């Protein structure tokens, strides 16, 4: 039987900030956006916020603060929260150390983002013990060396391992290797990948409220009432998932995507999400010594319609600026039409080593971008280790744009 781990760093961005600044421990911390103090009608001051929440400590989550929430709403729910800017360079640095720990135990590591990964430890058991023992060792190393906390799930498949890691967060290890189908049965349908929004009421109306309901349903009936995806849900609900753990070094593309708890509407919200994913993808490319020639954006509407567009990058690229500009170009070719989006993602393909030899002649636009990047880097270095990331985001989000096509 395979043994797959899913390791998920708990409140990663916020936890890194707390590890770097221990006085923040036990306090509600929100990463992303910024606080705004404005004059209030009738005198006094009114506190609001701009941007969106990228991460929140568990102390802030108790007030209902969650990722992708507008900062103004987060401050309304938790006015005593400590707001901190995103330090993507620092998070990528810590992520690299986390992944170094993963690779001590197995070469089969598939990163999903900066803060989570699947590990196939089936062939590692002779050296380090079974999957639970390995998960303990990994969590101990992360705590002792980095001062961070991770949750882990151990199971025969990727899907069940991810379910397990999320059941008792934070700082939990859940062994889901035995009686898989029976233990999955009482879980709500919302834990199935892809279920949410408008699909959930439809499934519940059909009596498909739990994993067990899918397990007992006949394939023919599912195809007729839900479609082929219903049979796929049944397999997942039964713990059947044959997908292998694919190491990043063998990946044909590197991407980042998120299914949001609240739908995104309008170009500004989608654009901010694309910027966050561009930063994440850039960090993963750099961490793996890769650059890409093609960028694609992926959006899924609240009606589960998947829309994607590709844009060539020309020369291999791995910096946030180039990736985000390409993502904007791809977004410009999509008619938003007031639609709501539950998922946004960025993927880069046609990968090559980032130290690949450049072409002799480069177009003027690329030269201009390179000079801009060097200027931002120099200024960022003077401001400190996090200045570059902040400048890049401010430069990208602050640009004036022409009319959307």
**Residue of 17, 59, 116, 328 marked catalytic:** 116
Q: Which two tokens stand for residue 43?
A: 């005198």
Closest CA to 173 of 189, 158, 161, 159: 161
> Hey, what are 209's tokens?
């409220």
Cα–Cα dist 186/193, whole Å? 16
User: What is the rounded distance in angstroms from the CA atom of residue 68 to the CA atom of residue 376?
Assistant: 27
Longest Cα separation, the chain: 71
Q: Of the candidates 88, 67, 69, which has an alpha carbon nearest to the alpha carbon of residue 396? A: 88
Q: Where are the beta strands (DSSP E) in 40-171?
A: 45-50, 55-56, 82-84, 109-113, 116-120, 150-155
What is the phi/psi pair of residue 87, to 5°?
-120, 75
3-state secondary structure of 16: helix
Yes or no: say if 300 and 342 are a contact pair by the CB < 8 Å rule.
Answer: yes
Burial 145-155 (b: 16+ CB within 10 A, else e): ebebbbbbbbb
| Cα–Cα distance, 123 to 22 (Å, whole number) | 38
Q: Is 182 a catalytic residue?
A: no
Residue 333's contacts (CB-CB under 8 Å, 6 or more residues apart) are 309, 405
DSSP state of 255: E
Interatomic CA distance for residues 191 and 162, integer angstroms: 10
User: Starting at the edge strand that comes first in sequence, how are the strands of the sheet with 173-175 ordered?
Assistant: 109-113, 116-120, 4-9, 150-155, 173-175
Strands 340-353 and 290-301: antiparallel
Which residues are marked as active site? 116
């Amino acid at each position: 039987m395979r043994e797959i781990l899913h390791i998920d760093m708990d409140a990663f961005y916020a936890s890194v900030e707390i590890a770097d600044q221990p006085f923040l421990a036990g306090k509600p911390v929100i990463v992303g956006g910024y606080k705004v103090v404005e004059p209030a009608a009738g005198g006094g001051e009114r506190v609001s916020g701009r941007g969106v929440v990228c991460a929140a400590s568990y102390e802030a989550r108790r007030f209902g603060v969650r990722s992708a929430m507008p900062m103004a709403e987060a401050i309304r729910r938790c006015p005593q929260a400590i707001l901190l800017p995103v330090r993507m360079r620092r998070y990528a640095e810590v992520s690299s150390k986390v992944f170094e720990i993963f690779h001590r135990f197995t070469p089969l590591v598939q990163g999903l983002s900066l803060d989570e990964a699947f590990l196939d430890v089936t062939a590692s058991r002779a050296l380090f013990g079974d999957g639970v023992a390995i998960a303990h060792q990994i969590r101990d190393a992360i705590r002792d060396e980095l001062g961070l906390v991770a949750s882990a799930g151990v199971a025969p498949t990727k899907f069940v391992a991810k379910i397990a890691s999320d059941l008792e967060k934070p700082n939990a290890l859940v062994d889901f290797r035995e009686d898989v189908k029976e233990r999955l049965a009482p879980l709500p349908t919302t834990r199935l990948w892809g279920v949410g929004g408008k699909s959930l009421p439809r499934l519940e109306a059909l009596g498909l409220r739990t994993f067990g309901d899918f397990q007992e349903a006949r394939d023919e009936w599912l195809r007729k009432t839900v479609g082929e995806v219903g049979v796929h849900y049944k397999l997942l609900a039964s713990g059947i998932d044959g997908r292998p753990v694919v190491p990043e070094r063998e990946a044909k593309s590197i991407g980042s995507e998120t299914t949001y708890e609240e739908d995104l509407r309008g170009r500004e919200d989608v654009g901010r999400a694309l910027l966050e994913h561009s930063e994440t993808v850039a960090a993963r490319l750099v961490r793996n010594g890769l650059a890409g020639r093609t960028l694609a954006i992926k959006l899924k509407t609240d009606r589960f319609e998947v829309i994607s567009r590709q844009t060539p990058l020309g020369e291999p690229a791995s910096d946030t600026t180039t990736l985000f500009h390409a993502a904007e170009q791809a977004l410009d070719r999509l008619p938003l039409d007031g639609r709501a989006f539950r998922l946004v993602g960025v993927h880069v393909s046609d990968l090559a080593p980032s130290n690949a030899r450049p072409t002799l002649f480069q177009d003027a636009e690329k030269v201009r971008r390179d000079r801009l990047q060097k200027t931002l880097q120099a200024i960022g270095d003077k401001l400190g280790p996090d200045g570059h990331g902040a400048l890049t985001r401010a430069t990208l989000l602050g640009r004036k744009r022409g009319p959307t096509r």
